Amino acid sequence: MKSIVTAIFISFLSLFLQPGFAQTNIYTNKLGMRFILISNGTFLMGSPESEKGRQWNEKRHRVVISKSFYMGETEVTQGQWEKLVGFNPSSFSGLGKTYPVDSVSWNECIEFIRVLNDWEGTNKYRLPTEAEWEYACRAGSTTAFAQGPVTTFSCNEPEPALINMAWYCYNSGIQNPSRDFKPHPVKTSAPNKWGLYDMHGNAQEWVLDSCKWRNFWRTRVGVVTDTYKDNIVDPLSQIGNHKIIRGGGWYQTSKYQRSAYRSYYKPGVKRNSLGFRIVRMQ
């Protein structure tokens, strides 16, 4: 009898070791968007002073992400946007539905998320915070990119840590074919260690945070927030009339693809290199 019970237990346990049960950390919504569960934790946000291409506003500091969350596996695609909203705003709309949606303002992204929440009868979707975005982008790394350091800012030679996981100026226009700069379909480069695609390159991404664009003495221009403090928990900057963007674009050099790189636009701005990805809260 004991051996029969043991056999049944082993058979039952084996079900959870099948590939389907290995996907328990992935959530797929009604729109077909896939989200990766990102566990809570701490990390070093910003960059060390020795990092090539570092900006003055990338002070390195310890951040606590207190709650796990689901991060969009990819940038929102043209097909997903069109299916929910009914039109395609992208400058590259002729390329295909699996390309990242572009030319959407921060305000429009917020409206897309509102409609998605209404459609699913929830309030769990939102943009990621700047800290959540960098935490997910780094995937446990401390280097300039998730897979290594920065070595060159040239569009004419490959960046070893980016060449397989990012669409940027070297491989999205200089090389294939020459001078044909454009984005690429999502999930056609390698993901980071946490299973997220295009955190470096392809489309720049809006995040939730607001910012100012000059420091107090007006001598330095760039993202200005009061959130870059050691041991800060779940930071979200809500001061300023600009919105922060993260991740480099398909036309930019590796300098702008770095995990710590920060930039900004007014919330009504649209660019053909600018899209977004979304978070689903647990």
Rg over CA atoms, the chain = 20
**61, 44 in Cβ contact below 8 A?**
yes
User: What angle do helix axes 78-85 and 106-120 make, rounded to 10 degrees?
Assistant: 60
The whole-number average pLDDT for the span 83-109 is 97
The whole-number average pLDDT for the span 179-204 is 94
The whole-number average pLDDT for the span 3-32 is 54
Q: In Å, what is the CA distance from 190 to each residue of 77, 146, 167? A: 17, 11, 10
State pLDDT tens for residues 140-159. 999 999 999 999 999 999 99
Confidence of residue 181 (pLDDT cuts 50, 70, 90): confident
pLDDT value at position 50? Answer: 97
Confidence of residue 219 (pLDDT cuts 50, 70, 90): confident
175 by Cβ neighbours in 10 Å (0-12 / 13-18 / 19+) ranks as: middle
Confidence of residue 51 (pLDDT cuts 50, 70, 90): very high
pLDDT value at position 137? Answer: 98
Domains and CATH numbers, the chain: 27-281 (3.90.1580.10)
pLDDT of 193 > 60? The answer is yes
pLDDT of 204 > 90? The answer is yes
The whole-number average pLDDT for the span 31-51 is 98
pLDDT value at position 239? Answer: 96
